[in-house]
Structure 1
Amino acid sequence: MEAGDYARTKVEAVAKYAPADVHYARVRLATDGPRLVTVHASLDVNGKPVNAEAAAETYQEAVDLLHDRLQHRLVSMGR
Structure 2
Amino acid sequence: MSNVHEILNIRTDLGTGVPADATEYARAKVAAVAKYAPADVQFAHVRLRTDGPRSIVAHASLDVNGKPVNAEAAATTYQEAVDLLHDRLQHQLADMGR
TM-score band w.r.t. shorter chain: over 0.9
Point out 4+ residue stretches in structure 1 off by more than 3 angstroms.
none
The answer as to 2:47 corresponding to 1:55 is no
| Alpha-carbon distance in 2 for matches of 1:75, 1:49 | 14
The answer as to 2:46 corresponding to 1:27 is yes
Q: Which of the two has higher C-alpha Rg?
A: 2
Alignment of 1:1-79 (within 5 A): 2-79=21-98
Q: TM-score, normalised by structure 1?
A: 0.97
CA-atom RMSD, angstroms? 1.0
Q: TM-score, normalised by structure 2?
A: 0.79
The answer for unaligned runs of 5 or more in structure 1 is none
**Whose helix proportion is higher, 1 or 2?**
1
The answer for unaligned runs of 5 or more in structure 2 is 1-19
| Alpha-carbon distance in 1 for matches of 2:23, 2:71 | 16
User: Per-residue deviation at 1:29?
Assistant: 0.2
| Number of equivalences | 79
